[in-house]
Amino acid sequence: MEDLSLHILDIVENSVAAQASRIEIRISEDKKKDLLSVEVIDNGIGMDEETQKRALDPFFTTKKVRRFGLGLSLLSESAKAANGRLSMNSKKGKGTRIKAVFQYSHIDRRPLGNISQTILTLVIGNPAIDFFYVHKKDGLRYVFDTRKIRSQLKDIPINSLDGMRIIKEELRGDPK
């Protein structure tokens, strides 16, 4: 994948498939510590120990549509290529936490990409899910919460034109 926002999109789609009703996306850019971290946390069905052990295998998937599951293995390889690592914590019935850490200045670190477009795509495509997105960069902290937007919209669907307009306005504050 050409950028990290596409990795995030793929991992969040796994969370959606795992029946998550709340998904957190956390990005932290710390140039002083030379670290970039990307975390996806969900309250989906989680994975048992056997599934977790196999999750990084590109030839393992729980999906019936295809016979390979490249998402986590590609993210893990991207992290390793940038002197980083991927960690995973999951409990059956409790949810999953995926965290990828990268050396910020590493020449092989993928760019973050268009995270605002990724968030917009995820919210519009999954209007019933609560998305919580936090981006920390250079001492700034940006927070995006679909519950806040839903309260502004009242009875108007979040994936309506008005909803998309508000989401785009909110995402303009992201310190990309």
Residue 66 placed within a domain = yes
Strands (E), the chain: 22-30, 35-42, 85-91, 95-103, 130-137, 140-145
Residue 29 placed within a domain = yes
Residue 33 placed within a domain = yes
Q: CATH code at 83?
A: 3.30.565.10
Alpha-carbon distances, residue 66 vs 62, 102, 117, 130 (angstroms)? 9, 29, 26, 27
Residue 91 placed within a domain = yes
Residue 26 placed within a domain = yes
Give the model's confidence band at 69: pLDDT under 50 very low, under 70 low, under 90 confident, else very high: very low
Beta bridge partners of 131: 23
Total number of domains constituting the chain: 1
d(CA 90, CA 26): 17
Give the model's confidence band at 174: pLDDT under 50 very low, under 70 low, under 90 confident, else very high: confident
Residue 61 placed within a domain = yes
Residue 176 placed within a domain = no
The pLDDT tens digits of the residues spanning 77-115 come to 999 999 999 999 999 999 999 999 999 999 999 999 999
More confident residue, 147 or 173: 147
* 17 pLDDT more than 80: yes
Identify the domain containing residue 12 by its residue range: 4-171
